[in-house]
Structure 1
Amino acid sequence: MSKPLKQIHLAAHFPGVNNTTVWSDPAAGSHIEFASFAHFARTAERAKFDFLFLAEGLRLREQGGQIYDLDVVGRPDTFTVLAALAAVTDRLGLTGTINSTFNEPYEVARQFASLDHLSGGRSAWNVVTSWDAFTGENFRRGGFLPQEERYARAKEFLATAHELFDSWHGDEIVADPVTGTFLRDAKAGAFVHQGPQFDIHGRFDVPRSPQGRPVIFQAGDSEEGREFAAAGADAIFSRYASWDDGRAFYDDVKKRLAKYGRGKDQLLILPAATFVLGDTDAEAEELAGQVRRQQVSGATAIKHLEFVWNRDLSSYDPEGPLPDIDPDTGEDHIARGRAQVRMYRDRLATAREWRELAAAHHWSIRDLVIHTGNRQTFVGSPATVARTINEFVQGDVSDGFILVPHITPGGLDPFADKVVPLLQEQGVFRTDYEGTTLRDHLGLAHPDEADQRRVAS
């Protein structure tokens, strides 16, 4: 008997806090005007996507005290945007990244519970920690927290937020049939939490929301991050979109669920994925090359190289050869606080590898960054992209993808118009929403049901 086809989960990431956006394209729009967010969200809902994902940018991206072009220069507050989008959409989930390093549980729980009410049960929280000192300067003395402290705070932060969400839990909560207001005894919203990170007690003033708790996302990739996700997240925003790396990550995280009394269907793996479409595969490949060169300007290439060299390389020509000096392997000078989570842990080995590649292919600094950096995940005709996405999901490389277009806000439209209908024809993607909440879209149980299943197991 053949294995039933998995249903694909699709979401849309509003870009900007990344290095994928092409600012120079005439079609590129504002990241401040609400019309851009509304267009993007309406396209995602028209295509029956699960949710929209909005990343968090707490400080302008910079190196050496200078702002550079990898990031949006200013963005409205995440909660404000998501609440506004709740009013112009009906079914689309609304996911926001809110960090646990610089916020407090009561404030964040109150905001997400409010969003869940305002949206009719469509809120989701991407729980992250913040590693860098230059962001930390906006919030706390000393900049960043070491990795082990960040995750200790994050675990207790999420547990405390759950206590707040659940403080209105129980059969004794009823709604007055005349006024619609909630009635409850003197225990309404009462909570007490005492722990190493938080010592708080009081009353949570937002009644139980439609989803009980927001859907919980997690985006960390470290050992601590994977365990954190397996213990309490509903979905992972993964960076592994290639077949081999994606399958290894998928298998590793799913195997961790059993010790927490959870089934494999209780945690979704959703990698970020970029795409370039063309009428033919050849046309799409040519377009992808053009997009990549637009994404990696000369200044961007130098800034990227500085992460590895750990030196100021502003005097180097991005169209010239790689530096002949070795990386500085001492204290982190470029990304303060990132020493604990370096993208390139062995800087000398990476420099040797890159010099060999550049010499073999006669690449400049910019050429090297273009060819070794993140490339478009799906490139081809609509038929090719639809077939490839389905193969990845059916092959347990992922449970779906969070799509990041390189043009804002209209970059999602071609995918919605040309790829989604093909997935629907294959019977692997919905033709309409069957439920009203984000948990419905993702096939996730209500927290009360999930807790009962865990106890029973």
Structure 2
Amino acid sequence: MTTHRTDRPKKQIHLAAHFPGVNNTTVWSDPSSGSHIEFDSFVEFAQIAERGLFDFMFLAEGLRLREQAGKIYDLDVVGRPDTFTVLAALAAVTDHLGLTGTINSTFNEPYEVARQFATLDHLSEGRAAWNVVTSWDAFTGENFRRGGYLPQSERYERARTFLDAAIRLWDTWKGDEILADKASGTFISTPAPGAFEHRDSQFDISGRFNVPRSPQGRPVIFQAGDSEEGRDFAAAKADAIFSRHSHLEDGQRFYADVKGRLEGFGRRHEDLLILPAATYVLADTDAEAVELAREIRLQQVSPATAIKLLEQLWNRDLSDHDPDGPLPTVDPSENDDLIAKGRASARSHGDRLEQAERWREISRAKGLSTRETIVEVTGRQSFIGSAETIASTIDDYVQADAADGYILVPHITPGGLAPFVDHVVPLLQERGVFRTAYEGATLRENLGLREPTR
């Protein structure tokens, strides 16, 4: 049951859209699914989101195709286009939609990334945002001069100092240089590129930044880590956090925890937005949506995908396992050389064995096959129901401080966002909790965030 405060005005809901690419959320085999790499798909998706008055579009990053048992993972063969190129192109075909991209702090350098985001912010007239992420993955690191050797504590230290350096670069361009205008014989004040210097355990850089201060001061900063280090990093540095906690109680715990850390970093409650990723299944009635949701889950977890997901936990070659039979009787492998490269978490054997036992208990209790068990235990849709039910649920969750809004992940790309925009958004507008027009000129303004100080 939701509970929310009655001593404040109703919160305004923030909505965004995640272009997911081909993964376990996307039903790429559906006839209505389009290309995941052609520019027309990105344009259609972005323009639907803008028609729905969404705050921003989110584009994930993939720096290496995933592999499993030495083979390219089936759902990754579409490829992963460059984030900056796509977002810069979308700036030309949208007017208000924020353009958010994930860029890794482990394998890049501050000057280059700061310059790219400052450029995107100018091209889009103040609509750029950076989702700052880290990577532990040595497999991905093989593509770069610097491999994925950093332990978790050092990854976040590098991310922290990386962001500090980028902010210093963005903030060096000041309007304090007086120049003589020879044509008119007058003196004018013009923005001047200031010198920068940043030296620490990760970086030793100095010089002058060559892109003027952007329309929104500097790009909006997102963070997506869920560890203790990630939560502290978000509370200290981020404008918004992209979380995975889309259900009520889980979301409320996460919201209270991260918001509760802000004061310790000298920040206010409203300085950080909590925006979980959320999937949805929309139908004419709640009963139809529940049935449709089950069909979609079976499409998302095909027999072949079920075996792939099983192998990721068991860390064994299970290509001969029957997905319609029971779970394997053999325990997960203790080998730390993971069978899945580029996507699986680095669980210890104890963690893998504990989770396998949970899966077995669920399978036995409900009489489920391997595939049915994986459908049961892996990600479910966050919101299922009619338009009225979904609008009401999202509103209740936001007012109950489970989130400040949601980043929607449709299962059909690029057109799967349209039913939400056409049917749910009008109901949120009727409730007075979602905009009827863009209020601001920049992403920062539309998110209700303060302009950064220098």
Q: How far does residue 371 in structure 1 lie from its aligned partner after superposition?
A: 0.6
Q: Distance in 1 between matches of 2:404 and 2:25?
A: 23
| CA contact 1:231–1:260 (8 Å) conserved in 2 | yes
Amino acid at match of 2:373: L
Q: Does 1:128 align with 2:133?
A: yes
| CA contact 1:344–1:350 (8 Å) conserved in 2 | no
Identity over aligned pairs, percent: 69
Q: Distance in 1 between matches of 2:42 and 2:435?
A: 23
Amino acid at match of 1:202: G
Of the three residues 296, 306, 309, the one matched with 2:311 is 306
Q: Distance in 1 between matches of 2:274 and 2:134?
A: 19
Q: How far does residue 69 in structure 1 lie from its aligned partner after superposition?
A: 2.9
TM-score by length of 1: 0.93
Corresponding position of 2:3:
none
Of the three residues 397, 405, 418, the one matched with 2:402 is 397
Q: Does 1:201 align with 2:215?
A: no
Q: Does 1:351 align with 2:356?
A: yes
* Secondary structure in structure 2 of the residue aligned to 1:443: coil
Q: Does 1:285 align with 2:290?
A: yes
Alignment of 1:241-252 (within 5 A): 241-252=246-257
Amino acid at match of 1:402: I
Worse-superposed segment, 118-127 or 63-72: 63-72
Aligned residues: 446
Of the three residues 25, 28, 32, the one matched with 2:33 is 28
Corresponding position of 1:59:
64
Q: Distance in 1 between matches of 2:303 and 2:97?
A: 38
Change (3 A) 1:52 1:435: same
Q: Does 1:443 align with 2:442?
A: no
Q: Does 1:297 align with 2:322?
A: no
Q: How far does residue 410 in structure 1 lie from its aligned partner after superposition?
A: 0.2
Where structure 1 has 5 or more consecutive residues not aligned to the other structure, the ranges are: 452-457
Q: Distance in 1 between matches of 2:178 and 2:295?
A: 58
Q: Does 1:377 align with 2:382?
A: yes
Where structure 2 has 5 or more consecutive residues not aligned to the other structure, the ranges are: 1-5
Corresponding position of 1:119:
124
Amino acid at match of 1:326: D
Change (3 A) 1:391 1:71: farther
Q: Distance in 1 between matches of 2:48 and 2:180?
A: 36
Amino acid at match of 2:306: A
Corresponding position of 1:110:
115
Change (3 A) 1:240 1:177: farther
Corresponding position of 1:220:
225
Q: Distance in 2 between matches of 1:19 and 1:370?
A: 11
Q: Does 1:236 align with 2:221?
A: no
Worse-superposed segment, 189-198 or 99-108: 189-198
| CA contact 2:66–2:341 (8 Å) conserved in 1 | no
Of the three residues 185, 190, 203, the one matched with 2:195 is 190
Q: How far does residue 192 in structure 1 lie from its aligned partner after superposition?
A: 0.9
Worse-superposed segment, 215-224 or 12-21: 12-21
TM-score by length of 2: 0.93
Worse-superposed segment, 27-36 or 392-401: 27-36
Corresponding position of 1:454:
none
Q: Distance in 1 between matches of 2:348 and 2:255?
A: 20
Alpha-carbon RMSD across the aligned residues, in angstroms, is: 2.3
Q: Distance in 2 between matches of 1:316 and 1:110?
A: 50
| CA contact 1:134–1:143 (8 Å) conserved in 2 | yes
Q: Distance in 1 between matches of 2:180 and 2:66?
A: 47
CA deviation vs aligned residue, 1:324-381 (integer Å, no higher than 9, x gap): 1111234242246889753996222211121121122221111111010000100000
Q: How far does residue 76 in structure 1 lie from its aligned partner after superposition?
A: 1.9
Q: Distance in 1 between matches of 2:86 and 2:180?
A: 30
Q: Does 1:321 align with 2:326?
A: yes
Corresponding position of 1:455:
none
Corresponding position of 2:417:
412
* Secondary structure in structure 2 of the residue aligned to 1:124: strand
Amino acid at match of 2:423: K
Of the three residues 336, 339, 345, the one matched with 1:334 is 339
Q: Distance in 2 between matches of 1:264 and 1:81?
A: 33
| CA contact 2:105–2:159 (8 Å) conserved in 1 | yes
Q: Does 1:90 align with 2:95?
A: yes
| CA contact 1:271–1:398 (8 Å) conserved in 2 | yes
| CA contact 1:132–1:335 (8 Å) conserved in 2 | no
CA deviation vs aligned residue, 1:379-413 (integer Å, no higher than 9, x gap): 00000000000000000000000000000000000
Q: Distance in 1 between matches of 2:40 and 2:180?
A: 37
| CA contact 2:60–2:101 (8 Å) conserved in 1 | yes
Change (3 A) 1:176 1:257: farther
| CA contact 1:276–1:378 (8 Å) conserved in 2 | yes
Q: How far does residue 5 in structure 1 lie from its aligned partner after superposition?
A: 0.3
Q: Distance in 2 between matches of 1:271 and 1:141?
A: 31
Q: Distance in 2 between matches of 1:174 and 1:5?
A: 50
Worse-superposed segment, 392-401 or 361-370: 361-370
Q: How far does residue 313 in structure 1 lie from its aligned partner after superposition?
A: 1.5
Of the three residues 257, 266, 269, the one matched with 2:274 is 269
Worse-superposed segment, 363-372 or 301-310: 301-310
